Chain A
């Protein structure tokens, strides 16, 4: 889909090239993350794809066509572009911002309106409440979502994203990353993504390209980058906590326990206690008639407050979705001092639970795997 063939860029007045003889192929529907220390040429590489920076030499093919001899403006209209500072136009409403490229392509107004609503729904914002707002009225996270929607306006097959989530706070960033990954499942774009954060690279990338001093050091899947680093540079860049980073790759549904004992809100205190005893736990999760999670109760609390309605003892619990990464689950468990985390669907239906001990087992497993991988070197 995107093919860089021996691309180089030397800025005027510089002796060494910013990007040096780089060849890279990004397949259709894949997220390729360019990552590396600052000054490694990752942003230059990205900007050469939509020719915001013209390559000094080399070939660039997009969708099989030579991109170098196309009209750069036409080329860019078919490539979504999201940058760190978003660059929403402050004098235009949300709808006008999203309509930028459709207008350049002379779409009819009715088609534009329809597309704006569709995109706002897709990114989880209510069209009626947001489309007439100006960027100054939006939160950082909302701006970032609008930036992504604007880049997708004409449904371009390719998107370039330059540190798109770097400017928001860590909690919003995690949220945006997860949202974007589930969005990508639906839209299946070919994406080139730049970041300096290896954790983000591991989480977002189908493939990771590690760059250093303008050269491509390793281009591989996140697993191979973690466990088969090509050289010392990659190893150092990935960091020593590789096993912990693996948690970025694993999803909650891979270690989630299903068919867990639950009690419903219409049962009596005795029934609940009985169920807790049956499950051999000190607590039980409570669901309502529609199987939506209400919270959990402790055995001790029901026993100690027998005179009160047992439902007053239900406590709210943090939850996680099944396609979240294990690192998110671990963070949430530790932050809330819980040992289990209920897994729920988008509609708050209980699907299962993640236990802290299962995550720990998983970390131990990967340590073992790592030790096995390194063994040959020792021998």
Chain B
């Protein structure tokens, strides 16, 4: 029951770290969405460019996070702490977001696009009013993966000086304090689950009910 004791004794410190953790992934996901959704939209009609971009994304994905952070801190503008941490997270979220946006936009039923075009909608209107709303469920799936991954990878940012829940785990391991490790791990898991639930909730709110019939088995 050391863990509970530790938790109670250090609750304000843990709360601090949790907030730091949330701020980090919050900034990262907002920037990632702005950048990667735009990239996904921009490459939707360009198969060759898309292939190149997606391979670059996979490349980032295959670099171990500690190594990536290590590289980033050597770049003058990024340096230690937040900038590098955020940038690293953005790079990791590239593949799940860009790939899902690109695939989802291209998988919209051609007859729907043809109907829209035939009724006199411009390319922009089709993108905004037809393709993006139809792509939302798949885009949400990508964002969900990206966010859950970010929550985990963010813990490793402690190695470049970030203060977050990863600190509890890292310090706990080096001081063989199981209560710290477990507290950190549990808090990170709770955030991951919370983020997952939040995305699920947003999906229900934002995605048109017309697209969710398969999931709800025909009910409203």
- Mark B194-220 against chain A: 1 for CB-CB distance below 8 A, else 0: 000000000000011111010000100
Nearest chain B residue, comparing its CB with the CB of A105: B120
Known A87-B112, A104-B125; judge A52-B208 contact (CB<8 A): no
A379 CA to B114 CA in the complex, in Å? 54
B115 A81 Cβ-Cβ under 8 A: yes
Range of interface residues on A (Cβ < 8 Å):
20 to 34
Q: Would you give the shortest CB distance from B48 to chain A, in whole angstroms?
A: 19
Q: Is the CB–CB distance between A134 and B109 below 8 Å?
A: no
**Residue contact B122 to A87, C-beta cutoff 8 Å:** no
List CB contacts (< 8 Å) of A151-188 with chain B.
151, 160
Provided the pairs A91-B133, A92-B208 are in contact, do residues A104 and B120 lie with their beta carbons within 8 angstroms?
Answer: yes
How does the 8 Å CB contact mask read for B57-69 relative to A, with 1 for contact and 0 for none? Answer: 0000000000000
Q: Which residues of B contact A90 (CB under 8 A)?
A: 112, 134, 208, 210-211
Instruction: Known A83-B111, A83-B115, A85-B109; judge A136-B210 contact (CB<8 A).
Output: yes
Alpha-carbon distance between A114 and B111 when the two chains are bound, in angstroms? 28
B118 at the binding interface (Cβ < 8 Å): yes
Q: Chain A nearest CB: distance from B119 CB in Å?
A: 5
Interface string of A84-98 (1 = CB under 8 A from B): 111111111100000
B52 to chain A, nearest CB (A): 25
Q: Which residue of B lies closest to A50 (CB)?
A: B118
Point out the residue from B115, B118, B125, B210 that lies within 8 Å of A91, measured CB to CB.
B210
**Alpha-carbon separation in the docked complex, A223 to B56 (Å):** 65
The total of Cβ contacts below 8 Å across the A-B interface reads: 80
Q: Do residues A101 and B210 form an inter-chain contact, with CB atoms below 8 A?
A: no
Contact assessment for A134 and B209 in the assembled complex, using a CB-CB cutoff below 8 Å: yes
A196 at the interface (CB under 8 A from B): no
Instruction: Return the CB mask of B1-19 against A: 1 if under 8 Å, else 0.
Output: 0000000000000000000
B residues in contact with A73, CB < 8 Å: 120-122
Residue of A nearest to B125 (CB): A104
CB distance from A288 to the nearest CB of B (A): 40
Please tell me if B185 contacts chain A, counting CB pairs below 8 Å. Answer: no
A101–B122 alpha-carbon span in the complex (Å): 12
Does any Cβ of A come within 8 Å of B31's Cβ? no
- Known pairs A86-B111, A86-B115, A87-B115; A134 contacts B121 (CB<8 A): no
B residues 111-138 in Cβ contact with A at 8 Å: 111-122, 125, 130, 133-134
Chain B CB within 8 A of A36 CB:
no
Q: How far is the CA of A87 from the CA of B210 in the complex (A)?
A: 14
A134 to B, closest residue via Cβ: B210
> Which single residue of chain A is at the shortest CB-CB distance from B118?
A81
Q: Contact check, B116 vs A89: say whether CB atoms are below 8 A apart.
A: yes
Query: How distant is A191 from chain B, measured CB to nearest CB, in Å?
Result: 15
A265 within 8 A of B: no
Cβ contact of B118, chosen from A83, A88, A134, cutoff 8 A: A83
Q: Determine which of B112, B122, B213 lies in contact with A89 in the assembled complex, contact meaning CB atoms within 8 Å.
A: B112
How far, in angstroms, from A77 to B118 measured CA to CA in the complex? 8
A100:B109 contact, CB within 8 angstroms: no
Residues of B within 8 A of A88 (CB): 112, 115
Query: Smallest CB–CB gap between B157 and chain A, Å?
Result: 38
Whether a CB of chain B sits under 8 angstroms from the CB of A75 is yes
Whether a CB of chain B sits under 8 angstroms from the CB of A76 is: yes
The verdict on A41 contacting chain B, using a C-beta distance below 8 Å, is no
What 6 additional pairs, Cβ within 8 angstroms, besides A91-B133, A100-B121, A147-B115? A81-B115, A81-B119, A90-B134, A91-B208, A101-B120, A151-B119
Interface residues of A (CB under 8 A from B): 50, 52, 72-78, 81, 83-93, 100-101, 104, 134-137, 147, 150-151, 160
- Going nearest first, the 3 A-B pairs with the smallest beta carbon separation are A87-B115, A134-B210, A85-B111
Interchain residue pairs with CB less than 8 A apart (15): A52-B117, A73-B122, A76-B118, A86-B111, A87-B112, A87-B114, A89-B112, A89-B116, A90-B112, A92-B208, A134-B210, A147-B115, A150-B119, A151-B119, A160-B118
